Structure 1
Amino acid sequence: MVNVNIVCVGKVKEKYINMGIDEFTKRLSAYTKLKIIELKEDGNDKNRDQSMEKEAGQIIETISKNRGYSILMDIGGKKFSSEEMSKKIEQITVNGNSTINFIIGGSYGVTKEVRSAVDLRMSFSDLTFPHQLMRLILFEQVYRWFSILGNSKYHK
């Protein structure tokens, strides 16, 4: 069974988003060992670069500790269909990776160092989503990818 870490900057404050995340966390337990790693958001509006640097240090330290295949959610990243991404996850695990780290940066984005430290930069859309909502979307998609691999009826 593959380990999945959701590494994210900041906390989810909206109750309805947490309810959705909780639901997909329960569903994912049939497929994977899931861990949510919430990093401290700096949120310094006066110095965004400094905020990104602090958050980058935390992200890089976390993915270094949780060795595995790291995928950054990045608007400039590669786009996949759900089927393509499920095959990518299968390929990652077949190649010997027992841990996959999905990373959602802070509200100001991530540094070049973070982009260089990951194995894959992935985009869900050219649209911009609130970070809390993006976390729920990621949980749903991770569940979808594993349900495709498990031949579940969830993905139609």
Structure 2
Amino acid sequence: MNIKFVVVGKLKEKYFKQGIAEYAKRLSRFCKFSIVEVPDEKAPENLSQAEMDQVMAAEGERILSKIKDREYVFALAILGKERSSEEFAKELKDLTTYGHSDITFVIGGSLGLTPAVLKRANTQISFGRFTLPHQLMRLVLTEQVYRAFMINEGSPYHK
């Protein structure tokens, strides 16, 4: 199984990098894990809606260029479907059971994801209605993917 994150922007904070590296190491038992970063657009404060759309469109094109047709895509979106850790684990297990071995998660930039990226996604997933920095979301998502594998193998990690 291949798990890939396509994310907008570079991770600068050492503590996030360390946390993600730890979970990536743990995930290597279960899957081939990778993170693909696409450049973010410079977006100064007080952009007009048209300028925001332009920024999102540029980032969206970069994201879509990193996704292959066969990949099953989860788009992280505030309005996506919330799942419990157990529901998420079952969903990942079911996907692999039904032939989806390439699973991709998309985390947009500070303005979110374009309709084109959301349309390409097979499903949208939400971690609640909080707005989180996308750097922190990478760490949270990495941990939740690891947790899903641990749930599926019946490990006490989840408790």
TM-score bucket (shorter structure): over 0.9
State whether structure 2 residue 50 is matched by structure 1 residue 51: no
Task: Give the AA of the match of 1:151.
Answer: G
The equivalent residue for 2:116 is 113
User: What SS is found at the alignment partner of 2:65?
Assistant: helix
The equivalent residue for 2:30 is 31
The equivalent residue for 1:132 is 135
The equivalent residue for 1:40 is 39
User: What SS is found at the alignment partner of 1:78?
Assistant: strand
Task: Give the AA of the match of 1:76.
Answer: L
Q: Supply the distance in 1 between the matched residues of 2:67 and 2:98 (Cα, whole angstroms).
A: 18
The equivalent residue for 1:3 is 2
User: What SS is found at the alignment partner of 1:62?
Assistant: coil
Q: Supply the distance in 2 between the matched residues of 1:59 and 1:151 (Cα, whole angstroms).
A: 34
Conserved 8 A contact 1:79-1:124? yes
Task: Give the AA of the match of 2:24.
Answer: T
User: What SS is found at the alignment partner of 1:11?
Assistant: coil
User: What SS is found at the alignment partner of 2:131?
Assistant: coil
State whether structure 2 residue 76 is matched by structure 1 residue 77: no
| Deviation, structure 1 residue 86 | 0.4
User: What SS is found at the alignment partner of 1:128?
Assistant: coil
More deviation, 39-48/74-83: 39-48
When the two structures are aligned, how many residues end up with a matched partner? 154
Q: Which of 104, 108, 122 in structure 1 is aligned with 2:107?
A: 104
Aligned residues with identical type, % of pairs:
45
The equivalent residue for 1:147 is 150
Runs of 4+ in 1 over 4 A off after TM superposition: none
Conserved 8 A contact 1:3-1:33? yes
Can you give the 5+ residue segments of structure 2 that lack an aligned partner in the other structure?
none
